[in-house]
Amino acid sequence: MTPRAASTSDRPPVAHHKSPQRPSPLRLFMFTLLTIVASTAFQIVRSGATINDVPHFFSREGPIADLWQMGTKASTVTLYGSRLSPSTQRVELILREKDIPYDFVSVNMREKEHKSESHFTKQPFGQVPVLVDGSLQLYGNSSSEQEHMCMELMVVLESRAIGRYLAGSYPFRGMPLYPMSNLTRMAWTEQAVSVEMSDFDPVLSGLLVEMIYKGGEPDFERVQHLKEQLRVKMEGYERILDRQKFLAGEALTLADLFHLPVGTAVLKRLNIVWYDGFPSVERWWKDISSRPSWKEIENRS
Ligand SMILES: N[C@@H](CCC(=O)N[C@@H](CS)C(=O)NCC(=O)O)C(=O)O
Q: Is 28 exposed, middle or buried (0-12, 13-18, 19+ CB in 10 A)?
A: exposed
What span, in angstroms and rounded, lies between the C-alpha atoms of 108 and 280? 39
Domain 64-169 carries which CATH code? 3.40.30.10
**In which region does residue 19 sit, left (phi positive, over 0), alpha (psi from -120 to 50) or beta (all else)?**
beta
Domain boundaries, the chain: 26-58, 64-169, 183-300
Q: Which atom of ligand 1 is nearest to the CA of 86?
A: 10
CB of 249 within 6 A of ligand 1: the answer is no
Architecture of domain 183-300: Up-down Bundle (1.20)
CB of 233 within 6 A of ligand 1: the answer is no
Per-residue pLDDT of the chain (301 residues; tens, 9 = 90+): 444 444 444 444 444 444 456 667 788 888 888 887 777 676 666 555 666 766 766 665 556 655 555 544 556 899 999 999 999 999 999 999 999 999 999 999 999 999 999 999 999 999 999 999 986 554 555 555 554 555 578 899 999 999 999 999 888 899 999 998 899 999 999 999 999 999 999 999 999 999 999 999 999 999 999 999 999 999 999 999 999 999 999 999 999 999 999 999 999 999 999 999 999 999 999 999 999 999 999 998 7
What span, in angstroms and rounded, lies between the C-alpha atoms of 180 and 192? 15
User: Ligand 1 centroid vs 78 CA: distance in angstroms?
Assistant: 17
Q: pTM for this structure?
A: 0.76
CB of 158 within 6 A of ligand 1: the answer is yes
Q: Omega before 129 cis (within 30°)?
A: yes
Q: What is the DSSP letter of 249?
A: B
Strand 130-137, strand 74-81: pairing: antiparallel
Q: Which residues of 122-157 are buried (b: 16+ CB within 10 A; e: fewer)?
A: bbeebbbbbbbbebebbeeeeeeeeeeeeeeeeebb
CB of 123 within 6 A of ligand 1: the answer is no
Which residues make beta-bridge pairs with 77?
A: 102, 133
Q: Which atom of ligand 1 is nearest to the CA of 85?
A: 10
Which residues make beta-bridge pairs with 153?
A: 134
Identity of the amino acid at 38: A
- For a mutational test of ligand 1's pocket, the pick from 87, 89, 198, i.e. the residue with the most ligand atoms closer than 8 A to its C-beta, is 87
Q: Which atom of ligand 1 is nearest to the CA of 160?
A: 19
Q: Which atom of ligand 1 is nearest to the CA of 115?
A: 17
Three-state SS at 42: helix
